[in-house]
Amino acid sequence: MAVKSVLITGCSDGGIGSALALAFQKRGLHVFATARTISKMSRLDGLPCVTLVTLDVTNYASITSAVEIVKSATGGTLDYLVNNSGVGYVMPTLDVDIEEAKRVFDVNVWGLLAVTQAFAPLVIATNGSIVNISSVGGLLYPPWLSVYTASKSAVTTISETLRLEMAPLGVKVLTAVTGTVHSNFFVNGPQHKLPPTSRYVSVEKSIVARAQGRDIQSGMNAAKYADRVVDDVLRGENGKIWRGKLASIVRYASTYLPTFVLDWLLLQQTGLDTFPTTRAKEAKLRI
Prediction pTM value: 0.90
Instruction: Examine residue 266 and state whether it is found in any structural domain, yes or no.
Output: no
Total structural domains within the chain:
1
**Domain interval for residue 238:** 5-258
DSSP calls for 26-37: HTT-EEEEEES-
CA atoms of 226 and 206, how far apart (whole Å): 30
Which pLDDT belongs to residue 168?
Answer: 98
Higher pLDDT, 88 or 253: 88
C-alpha of 213 from chain center:
15
Which pLDDT belongs to residue 11?
Answer: 98
Instruction: Examine residue 274 and state whether it is found in any structural domain, yes or no.
Output: no
CA atoms of 261 and 273, how far apart (whole Å): 12
CA atoms of 176 and 236, how far apart (whole Å): 13
Indicate the DSSP class of residue 98: H
Which pLDDT belongs to residue 280?
Answer: 47
* CATH number of the domain where residue 166 is located: 3.40.50.720
Contact call for residues 44 and 52 (beta carbons, < 8 A): yes
What are the pLDDT digits (tens) for 4-40? 999 999 999 999 999 999 999 999 999 999 999 999 9
Rounded to the nearest 10 degrees, what angle do helices 259-270 and 204-212 cross at? 100
Q: What is the mean pLDDT of the chain?
A: 90
Tell me the average pLDDT across 53-57: 98
Instruction: Examine residue 283 and state whether it is found in any structural domain, yes or no.
Output: no
Higher pLDDT, 76 or 212: 76
Instruction: Examine residue 264 and state whether it is found in any structural domain, yes or no.
Output: no
Just list the catalytic residues: 148, 152
Instruction: Examine residue 44 and state whether it is found in any structural domain, yes or no.
Output: yes
Which pLDDT belongs to residue 287?
Answer: 40
C-alpha dihedral (76, 32, 100, 263), degrees to nearest 10: 100
Least Cα distance to 144 among 84, 216, 204 occurs for: 204
Instruction: Examine residue 92 and state whether it is found in any structural domain, yes or no.
Output: yes
Instruction: Examine residue 46 and state whether it is found in any structural domain, yes or no.
Output: yes
Instruction: Examine residue 251 and state whether it is found in any structural domain, yes or no.
Output: yes
pLDDT at 251 over 90: no
